[in-house]
Homo-oligomer: A and B are copies of this chain.
Amino acid sequence: MDSSSKLSRRAWITTASGVVAAGLIRTQTDAIRLDAQEAPPPDPTKVPGRLVSPVGQRAPTERPERLLRTEALSSSSRTPLHELMGTITPADLHFERHHAGIPDIRLENHELLVHGMVDRPMVFTMDDLMRYPRVSRIRFLECSGNGGGVYSRDRMPTEVTVQAIDGLLSTSEWTGVPLSTILREVGVRDGASWILAEGSDSAVMSRSVPLDLLEGALLAFGQNGEMIRPEQGYPLRLFIPGLEGNTNVKWLRRIEVTDQPTHTRDETSRYTDPLGDGTARQFSLVMDAKSVITFPSYPYVLPEEGWWEIRGLAWSGRGRITRVDVSTDGGRNWTPAELQGPIFPQSTVRFRHLFEWNGRDTLILSRATDETGYVQPSVQQLWEARGPQTSYHQNHQRAWRIARTGEVTFGLGELV
């Protein structure tokens, strides 16, 4: 393989010359943290290691963190996508978006009321719910405001990480009871077409969702093998594969079956998209296909020319990703990337594309296609369709610029 022999030469050179490129492609934060640690033994085989402990720890030099934002009680944390591999997001690095913080709830005290247009309104304890047959599914969750910072022609940043731009995205193995099981229990009446889902945080976050978008929905209490964490809705959240994050109501305490949307505060003050023609669209709930390149991205620096693997994630709320194309010339030519199977519906898929960087100023982009044939649009297409003021669902193609120095910055500004 050509690429293999190129890589081989580099491996030789690096080893022979003793040059350690490590510092160059680690982030500054990591370097600072590394300095703060005690020196390791020069030869680990000559020192007894530490013994086991009840819960494992990350390496002292590996401390991925979420990027935080708080304004009064409104807060968010963003997943460090640029530091992650594969598709699973560790539970403690899953993004968050709360309207009134994280409530303190005990399993024993939590109940779910299901009522409205049903034959048998019921209250379920967590023990009741956890006794039903369960399913587990690897699925993404994304905030509909993700990417909002790279939509305005006038404020297109350059020194910004993929975490800051698109870190309101994470993927977990979710476990729970199908919502359909519980809706069968209560008996949904003829004419019902929506539900209202309500959380028990102090914002009493509430969203309306049409029944026909709830096919794969779970009453979820498990995440990545363990009980869901407080930040993700402990002990119970609604999980609706493919729909915008805020409909996946955390700390779920009530589901009302209705024949129309409830138009709660949360879905009128927020989560409505103003359009270019002065109207607005509501209940734009499905997350459209999207992709992001996670490597190389800011603040990485490519230390030399040669073969590099472009890596990223692609996902679609409408089903499976079928194709991701990568451009290394600012969008003129596109080449299909390799997708890491198996590909799940409504899940992130890792894509990879080996390219030879020739040391010139280069703009790299990715473009996802899903099983419906939908192709991730350019920002120009999105401006045209929705106008410049829309504030959610900005799933347009992103770009990274690799400068001659190897420094990588956000590059969409070069294309607008």
* Residues of chain A whose beta carbon lies under 8 Å from any beta carbon of chain B: 1, 3-4, 7-8, 10-12, 14-15, 20-22, 25, 34, 40-41, 44-59, 61-62, 64-66, 68-70, 73, 75-77, 83-94, 96, 98, 100-109, 120, 122-128, 131-136, 173-175, 181, 184-185, 200-202, 204, 222, 224-227, 229-232, 234-235, 251, 307-309, 311, 340, 342, 344, 350, 352, 354
Contacts and interface: CB of A to CB of B under 8 A. Distances in A.
Nearest to A1: B184
A49 to B, nearest CB: 3
Contact of A181 (B4, B56, B88, B107): B4
Given A66-B55, A229-B59, A202 B90 contact: no
Contacts of A132: 7, 309
A68 B85 contact: no
Given A123-B15, A125-B22, A185-B8, A229 B57 contact: yes
29 contacts: A1-B184, A7-B185, A11-B185, A15-B122, A15-B124, A22-B107, A22-B126, A40-B104, A44-B105, A44-B201, A47-B104, A48-B100, A48-B202, A51-B73, A51-B75, A52-B68, A52-B77, A52-B98, A52-B231, A55-B92, A57-B231, A59-B227, A85-B175, A85-B227, A86-B173, A86-B225, A87-B136, A90-B224, A90-B225
B133 A226 contact: no
Nearest to A175: B85
B73 A48 contact: yes
A344 B86 CA distance: 15
B65 A14 contact: no
Contacts of A102: 49-52
Given A127-B14, A185-B7, A342-B342, A226 B85 contact: yes
Given A134-B309, A201-B44, A56 B94 contact: yes
B49 A108 contact: no
Given A56-B93, A59-B234, A88-B173, A109 B40 contact: yes
A44 B111 CA distance: 12
Contacts of A52: 66, 68-70, 75-77, 96, 98, 102, 231
